[in-house]
Amino acid sequence: MESKNLQTIYVMWLREMKRFLRAKSRVIGTLMLPFFFLFSMGFGFRGSFNLQGMPQSANYIDFLVPGILGMTMLFTATFAGLSVLWDKEFGFLKEIMVAPVRRLSIVFGRIAGGITTSFIQGILILIISLFLGFKIPDALSLFLAFVFMLLIGFGFIGFGIAMASKMEDVHGFSLITQFIIFPTFLLSGALFPINNLPDWLRKITYFNPLTYGIDGLRLSLLGFSQFSLFTDLAIICFFDVIMISLASWFFSQTEI
């Protein structure tokens, strides 16, 4: 039975990878928004923000790259939940839900596929940023950045699957998630230092899990952060556990 569950995880992962590789237009479209932010804001807003605390050699593009990496993981991971709704609509979900395997293995397979595709797109954005002047300090910094990218991805994939498991309409899912993820992105310090915000708004950002993911990315790639490494890791890991648990629970309760 255990081998069947492992095979299910692999099959679900492979299915997501094939869909990702075949939908080249979706990949290009997903990369265009982060690239637009990097290029237009990186050069257009250079010198517009007080980057106090950052290394003197750093500029706004350096500050922006970790935020755009976080944005890429946020958007691509959250919308991985769309596959659940598409499978509901076309009947595939019903077929796999009646299979003699644990439903958790189906969830983990989807999470594995979603995190892989999100991570690939995050790496592509990181590569693009190198051509815009961003520099990676060393291999250890890159490894730690990958850890935070994965942690951001896991949490928001869980969020996306949990939302999709409770909804029936694809368009409704897109509207509601956009209503949630855009404020999450804008109030995470991705585009500007949270110290520049009014006191009452800055306090709101402290309740945003993405704030700690992006702060961890800045600590990894720039050596600059608002919080300690332990704080960033603890909060984003706690968020991941909650979201993946909710995704597993809601998906297991899905009616077919």
Band (44; pLDDT cuts 50, 70, 90)? low
Amino acid 108: pLDDT? 87
Residues 6+ positions from 72 with CB-CB distance below 8 Å: 30, 31, 34, 118, 121, 122, 125
* Residue 255 scores a pLDDT above 80: no
3-state secondary structure of 137: coil
Which amino acid, one-letter code, is at 236? I
Residue ranges of the alpha helices (H) in 79-102?
A: 82-90, 92-97
Which has more confidence, 43 or 103?
Answer: 103
CA distance linking residue 12 with residue 245, whole number of Å: 19
CA distance linking residue 121 with residue 126, whole number of Å: 9
Which has more confidence, 29 or 184?
Answer: 184
Among all chains, which residue has been given the structure tokens 């099959």?
11
* Residue 174 scores a pLDDT above 70: yes
Stated pTM of the model: 0.89
Residues 6+ positions from 56 with CB-CB distance below 8 Å: none
Highest mean pLDDT, choosing among 35-49, 56-70, 84-98, 114-128 = 114-128
Question: Which range (38-52, 183-197, 199-213, 240-254) has the least confidence?
Answer: 38-52
Band (196; pLDDT cuts 50, 70, 90)? confident
* Residue 101 scores a pLDDT above 80: no
